[in-house]
Amino acid sequence: MLAAGVAFPDWKLTDHTGTSRSSAEMAGKRYLLWFFPKAMTPGCTAEGRGIRDSYTDFEKVGVVVFGVSADDPASNAAFVKAESFPFPLLSDPGLVLASKVGAAGPVGYARRVSYLVGADGKVEKAYADVNPAEHAKQVLDDLAQPVTPAK
């Protein structure tokens, strides 16, 4: 896992609509990347629903949300449609980004971890082994706290 204050690696991934998304387009914006093992599985669905149900709260504090898995764009598109997710799901085939940030799990799946990345491109907070049912609230609680610069 990357520590707070460390620059988050540059990334470029395809979302569920086939659109290329990148860290470059996020320059100057805060964002949450939540890595999940597999689309439409119980834990991933619970975590995604929690974020979906709190999405307006993320918008209010100016945080863009992305889900990331090794699933292909078509699988992620089906997941977005089934759960009415208002945020993009990104495909990380081969878990290239996940491997760089300590989110690669066993046998081709991402681990359930998240990163809150600041407008400066540095990690504000790393979330290891999150609880799917409580993750959205945990992140929003952290966002309600003043940002403490890393030393």
Q: Could you read off the pLDDT of 11-28 as tens digits, one per residue? A: 999 999 999 999 999 999
Give the span between the Cα atoms of 132 and 89, in whole angstroms. 16
Residue-level pLDDT at 8: 98
Start-to-end CA distance of the chain, whole Å, equals 18
Beta bridge partners of 35: 68
pLDDT digits (tens, 9 = 90+) for 76-121: 999 999 999 999 999 999 999 999 999 998 788 999 999 999 999 9
The pLDDT of residue 49 is 98
The CA-based diameter of the chain, rounded to the nearest angstrom, is 43
Which contiguous run of DSSP H or E holds residue 72?
none
The pTM for the full model equals 0.94
122 phi and psi angles, rounded to 5 deg: -105, 150
Q: What are residue 132's DSSP bridge partners?
A: none
Q: What is residue 40's DSSP assignment? A: T
CATH class of 29-143: alpha beta
Which tokens in the block code for residue 38?
């597999």
114-117: strand order across its sheet: 20-22, 12-15, 89-91, 63-69, 30-35, 114-117, 123-127
CA atoms within 13 A on the CB side of 67: 36
Neighbours of 148 (CB within 10 A): 9
Q: Which residues are catalytic?
A: 44
β-bridge pairing 20-22 and 114-117: unpaired
